[in-house]
Amino acid sequence: MRAGVTFILGGARSGKSAFAEQMVLASGLKPVYLATGQAWDGEMENRISLHRARRGPSWKTVEAPLQLSQAIDAEATGGNAILVDCLTLWITNLMMAEADIAGEVEALARMLATVKDPVVVVSNETGL
């Protein structure tokens, strides 16, 4: 897997996270999971637990519910393959925090344009 961004788009619970995890593992680089989800309720808490169990201990997990571009910058040090899961939840978190969504998206786009490690980004398809 070369440096740059791979975008995985799919329906809710369609297997896109597991697919993205396999891509990252196949790279042979150190896997880093940037988690944007927050356990707002029991269902989300269960989903987070299932994802953690599936990944196992070989993954470094970084919680990044709001500061996504900063988390990518901190982890893209060379030799890592980074999985961002997912953009949909990140945008939701920004909305809930009444953050500057346009500014955060611009910062993310700038970061992804210059990142030296491969980054796999997962997002939900919400109505094609």
Q: Which CATH number is 21's domain given?
A: 3.40.50.300
3-state secondary structure of 8: strand
- Which tokens go with 123? 């997002």
**Contacts of 11-20 spanning 24+ positions with Cβ under 8 A:** 11/124, 11/125, 12/124, 16/122, 17/51, 17/85, 17/86, 17/122, 18/54, 20/83, 20/85, 20/120, 20/122
pLDDT score of 128: 67
Total domains in the chain come to 1
The whole domain housing 69 covers 4-124
Q: What is the mean pLDDT of the chain?
A: 92
Task: Give catalytic residues, as residue numbers.
Answer: 51
Q: pLDDT tens across 50-89, in order?
A: 777 777 889 999 999 999 999 999 999 999 999 999 999 9
